[in-house]
Amino acid sequence: MTRDVKIGLFGFGCVGQGLYDVLNNSKNFRADISKIVVKNKDKERPLPSKYFSFDKDEVLKNPEINLITELIDDVDQAYDIVTNALKNGKNVVSANKKMIAENLEELVSLQKEYDTSLLYEASACASIPIIRTLEEYYDNELLYSVRGIFNGSSNFILSKMFNEGLEYQDVLKEAQDLGFAETDPTLDVGGFDAKYKLVIIICHSYGLFVDPKEIFNYGIQNLTAFDMQYAKEKGLKIKQIARVYKTPEDEVVGYVMPQFVKPTDDLYKVDNEYNGVVVEAAFSDKQFFKGKGAGGHPTGSAVLSDISANRYDYKYEYRKRKTDAFMRFTNDATLDVYFRYDKGVALDESKFIEINERYQGAENAFVIGKVNLADFKEDEYFHQKGTFAIELPVE
């Protein structure tokens, strides 16, 4: 049974305006945006002033508004809005992956305590419906792994470097000019954005609440033309991959780092600002999802999907919190890596479990070998200036 939805919207930036567009161009769908709360009183907006408010309580305490849609950048304010709404018996839709990842256990508890619903499909991979797919389609499936390109900005940069032979800094500036990367791009290129999304994916894949600090993320900032040329000579591409998998010992391993990708890998042809996700399971085998990972309309469409689901009182049931309660997260895993270092860095073989291949040139050298994920995460040797690591293909 459906019900009327009266929306209180927080934020009217790229995603907020994208939601407004898709909502007003969707046929046979009824949901009214009652009020939009914004911060800047002087900013010109494409809607009449009557739609806007600068007082959050005008929305949060309005008994006619039954759905809060939070689409702002500020993590602390987003947390305050979402938790207050849930405690006041209002359902919530959010796209704030950092806020959700850092507070997921508490947010799940609040939903149960106040019999409310928090939906956040747009927080991971924008237009790809991966959260609900994992929650519903894979609810009883023996899930082996989820891996993918979760960040459109870094993928745009890597695609341009590979396809046009450009240097990292030049492509980064182009991405910033196009609005794909922020002035401070660390969240995207450093793998933090993908890590927050991975925290959410892990919860819906294996029922675990993992502190983002526990997950290793390694960025693409130190990638050079030498690394890209090596990939081309081997017939590979370099992608920033978020990966989670279950070990035979029922432990869960998850991390974000650059990875060499083969032409046979579904992720090989996922270029520019697109995202791609590969899910592997015992009975449904391998499934591949691809869609735009950034932009107002793709993300707005995911928000609209959650708004539509809310009309039917849909909630995440977090079933795997019960069925997979015996699992635990670990960084005790082995990675096969290409590790490049320049002439100013001395190779320390003791940092590797084993070394299988070596190359020494005038300016650059590399080894291919095995490292422990926990050691790689914590040891400064692997993160010093003049070094870069890429995981070997896992497909």
Per-residue pLDDT tens digits for 129-140: 999 999 998 987
| Residue type (1 letter), 109 | S
Decide if 213 is catalytic. Answer: no
Assigned token pair, 335: 């990675």
CA dihedral 179, 185, 189, 195 (to 10 degrees): -100
Please state, in angstroms and rounded to a whole number, the distance separating the CA atoms of residues 189 and 240.
9
Instruction: Say how many C-beta atoms besides its own lie within 10 A of residue 338's C-beta.
Output: 24
pLDDT value for 1: 53
The answer to whether the beta carbons of residues 210 and 331 sit under 8 Å apart is no
List the structure tokens of 48: 């009449």
What pLDDT is stored for residue 324 in this prediction?
Answer: 60
Q: Which two tokens stand for residue 360?
A: 């020494």
- For 368, the token pair is 């291919």
**Residues 244 and 202: beta-carbon distance below 8 Å:** yes
In this prediction, residue 303 carries a pLDDT of 94
User: Which residue in this structure is represented by tokens 């409310």?
Assistant: 116
What does DSSP say about strands 251-261 and 328-329: parallel, antiparallel, or unpaired?
parallel
Please give the Cα distance from 196 to 132 (Å, whole number): 17
Q: Residues 367, 234: contact at Cβ < 8 Å?
A: no
**Homologous superfamily assigned to 6-128+296-323:** NAD(P)-binding Rossmann-like Domain (3.40.50.720)
Catalytic residue among 197, 237, 290, 320: 197
How many helices (H) does the chain have, and how many strands (E)? 13, 17
Residues in the chain, overall count: 395
Q: Where in the chain is the domain with CATH 3.40.50.720?
A: 6-128+296-323
Distance of alpha carbon 23 from alpha carbon 18, whole angstroms = 8
Those residues of the chain that have pLDDT short of 70 are 1-2, 179-180, 323-325
User: Is the C-alpha dihedral spanning 273, 274, 280, 286 positive or negative?
Assistant: negative
Contact between residue 126 and residue 302 where contact means Cβ atoms under 8 Å apart: yes
Per-residue pLDDT, 325:
63
How much is the pTM? 0.95
Q: What is residue 174's predicted lDDT score, i.e. its pLDDT?
A: 84
Q: Which pLDDT score is estimated for 172?
A: 83
Residue 6 dihedral angles phi and psi, to the nearest 5°: -110, 115
What is the signed CA dihedral for 10, 318, 100, 284, rounded to 10 degrees? -100
Residue 21 burial by Cβ neighbours in a 10 Å radius (0-12, 13-18, 19+): middle
Cβ contacts of 310 within 8 Å, gap of 6 or more: 5, 67, 91, 93, 117, 119
Task: State whether the Cα torsion 74-80-83-87 is positive or negative.
Answer: negative
Q: What is the DSSP letter of 381?
A: G
Domain with CATH 3.30.360.10 in the chain: 131-291+333-391
Question: Contact at 8 Å (CB) between 15 and 94?
Answer: no
> Which CATH number describes the domain made up of 131-291+333-391?
3.30.360.10
